[in-house]
C-alpha cells in the first residue's frame, strides 16, 4: 500500500489482447452493468493490482484513459492499445494479469509523452476477419456446406472486389446514423485483401486483412458482407460503386465473430518521439511471439468452435436472399 502511494503516476500505453466472445464490446458503459465489456474487467484489474486508486475506476477521465478502437460486441483484439496514467508499481504487468481472466491479457507496456492520447495519435488500424470459405460458395452452382473448398478463380474475384475499397470513399451506407452529406462518412482505406485458405477441424477458413485510417461502427463487417453478397451471386458488382453515391443502399452486415483488431499504427508519433532519447517508438516486435500465441490459444479456437456450434456464418448467409440489392433501400 505504502509503496503504491509513493509510486509516481506516469502516462503509459498497454498492449492488450482479448477474445471478445460474451462481451458487449470494448468500451465501458458506466451505469449499465448488465452489459459486460472488456474495459469493466480491465479497470477492475487495474484497481485490484494497485495501479490506480479506486475512484479512478468510477471516473475514467481521472486517469486520462483512452482506447485506440471501440471494438463492437463479440469482436476480439490481438493488438489493442489503451493509454492511461498509472502508478508504476513493481512487476506491474504480472500484477494486472493476475486479476484478469485468461482470455484478456496485457502483453506489453511503454512510457509515452504526457499529452499522449491513443485514439487521436493513432494514424491507422489493421483488422482481420476470419471466415469459413463456404461464405464465397455461389448460391446456384456450389455446395453450401463445410465440404466446400475455395478455388483460385473465386479467390481472385474476392480480391478484385476487396481492392475496390482502397482509397477514399463515402461509406455512409456501411454504418448506421450517418447521412451521405456527413463529411465524417468519408474514410481512407490503405489495403484490403484475402489470404490463402487453410483447413481447421475439417472446415476451410480464410482471413481478410484491412488497413485503414479509421473505421465507423459496423463498417468492416458491411464491407465484407457486400463482397460476400456479390461473390455468392445475390448482387451485381456495380453495387459497390453505387453504395458510395447518395442513395441509400441495402448493405448486409457480416457476423461479428470473425473480426479481430490486429494492430494499431502510430507512424507520425514514432517519427516525432520514437527516437528522442526519452520515449520508445510504439512498435511491438518483441511482443509478436506473445501475440501469435494468444491468437492460437484464445482467438482462433473461439472463432472456429463458435462457428461449428452456433453456425453464425451459415445462419447469416441464409438471410442474404431477403435483402433487396437492386432498388434503393427504404
Do residues 106 and 133 both lie within one domain? no
Nearest to 110 by CA among 270, 322, 318, 316: 270
pLDDT-flagged residues of the chain (< 50): 329-330
CATH of the domain at 89: 3.30.70.580
Tell me the C-alpha distance between 44 and 63, whole Å: 14
What is the predicted pLDDT for the residue at 299? Answer: 96
Q: Are both 153 and 176 inside the same structural domain?
A: yes
**Cα 138 vs. chain centroid, distance in angstroms?**
28
Same domain, 86 and 159: no
pLDDT of residue 330: 46
84 is a domain residue:
yes
Q: Which of 40, 41, 72, 250 is catalytic?
A: 72
Model pTM score: 0.91
- Which residue, of 94, 121, 148, is where some domain finishes? 121
H/E stretch holding 46: helix 38-49
Q: Is residue 236 part of a domain?
A: yes
Residues 140 and 225 reside in one and the same domain = yes
Q: pLDDT tens, 126-185?
A: 999 999 999 999 999 999 999 999 999 999 999 999 999 999 999 999 998 899 999 999
Number of domains in the chain: 2
Domain edge (last residue) among 121, 151, 185: 121
Is 193 annotated to bind a ligand? Reply is: no
| 288 occurs within a structural domain | no
Q: Both 310 and 190 in a single domain?
A: yes
Residues 171 and 252 in one domain: yes
DSSP labels, 271-310? HHHTTSSSS--S--GGGHHHHHHHIIIIIHHHHHHHHHHH
- Shared-domain flag, residues 111 and 159: no
Residue at a domain's end among 82, 100, 121: 121
In a domain, 284, yes or no: no
SS3 (DSSP) at 311: coil
**What is the pLDDT at residue 329?**
47
CATH, residue 317: 3.30.70.660
Say yes or no: 109 and 248 in one domain: no
Measured between alpha carbons, how far is 250 from 277 in angstroms, rounded to an integer? 52
Task: Please check whether residue 40 lies inside any domain of the structure.
Answer: yes
- 183 lies in which domain range? 124-261+294-322
Classified as helix, coil or strand, 1 is coil
Annotation marks residue 72 as catalytic: yes
Q: ∠ CA(267), CA(161), CA(159), 5° rounding?
A: 70
Amino acid at each position: 500500500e505504502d509503496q503504491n502511494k509513493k509510486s509516481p503516476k506516469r502516462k503509459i500505453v498497454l498492449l492488450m489482447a482479448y477474445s471478445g466472445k460474451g462481451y458487449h464490446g470494448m468500451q465501458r458503459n458506466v451505469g449499465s452493468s448488465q452489459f459486460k465489456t472488456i474495459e469493466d474487467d480491465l479497470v477492475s484489474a487495474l484497481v485490484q493490482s494497485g495501479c490506480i486508486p479506486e475512484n479512478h475506476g468510477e471516473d475514467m477521465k481521472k486517469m486520462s484513459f483512452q482506447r485506440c478502437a471501440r471494438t463492437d460486441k463479440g469482436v476480439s483484439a490481438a493488438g489493442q492499445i489503451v493509454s492511461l496514467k498509472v502508478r508504476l508499481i513493481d512487476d506491474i504487468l504480472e500484477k494486472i494479469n493476475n486479476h484478469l481472466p485468461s482470455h484478456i491479457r496485457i502483453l506489453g507496456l511503454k512510457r509515452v509523452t504526457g499529452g499522449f492520447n491513443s485514439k487521436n495519435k493513432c494514424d491507422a488500424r489493421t483488422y482481420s476477419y476470419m471466415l469459413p470459405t463456404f461464405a464465397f460458395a455461389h448460391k446456384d452452382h456450389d455446395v453450401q456446406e463445410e465440404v466446400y473448398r475455395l478455388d483460385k478463380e473465386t479467390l481472385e474475384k474476392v480480391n478484385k472486389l476487396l481492392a475496390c475499397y482502397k482509397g477514399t470513399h463515402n461509406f455512409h451506407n456501411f454504418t448506421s446514423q450517418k447521412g451521405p452529406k456527413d463529411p465524417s462518412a468519408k474514410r481512407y482505406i490503405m489495403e484490403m485483401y484475402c489470404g490463402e485458405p487453410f483447413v481447421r477441424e475439417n472446415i476451410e477458413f480464410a482471413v481478410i486483412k484491412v488497413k485503414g485510417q479509421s473505421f465507423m461502427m459496423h463498417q468492416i463487417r458491411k464491407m465484407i458482407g457486400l463482397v460476400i453478397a456479390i461473390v455468392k451471386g445475390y448482387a451485381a458488382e456495380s453495387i459497390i460503386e453505387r453504395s458510395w453515391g447518395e442513395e441509400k443502399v441495402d448493405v448486409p452486415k457480416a457476423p461479428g465473430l470473425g473480426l479481430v483488431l490486429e494492430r494499431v499504427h502510430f507512424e507520425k508519433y514514432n517519427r516525432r518521439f520514437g527516437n528522442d532519447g526519452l520515449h520508445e517508438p510504439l512498435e511491438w516486435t518483441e511482443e509478436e511471439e506473445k501475440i501469435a500465441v494468444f491468437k492460437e490459444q484464445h482467438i482462433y479456437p473461439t472463432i472456429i468452435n463458435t462457428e461449428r456450434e452456433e453456425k453464425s456464418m451459415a445462419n447469416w448467409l441464409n438471410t442474404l436472399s431477403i435483402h433487396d440489392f437492386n432498388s434503393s433501400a427504404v
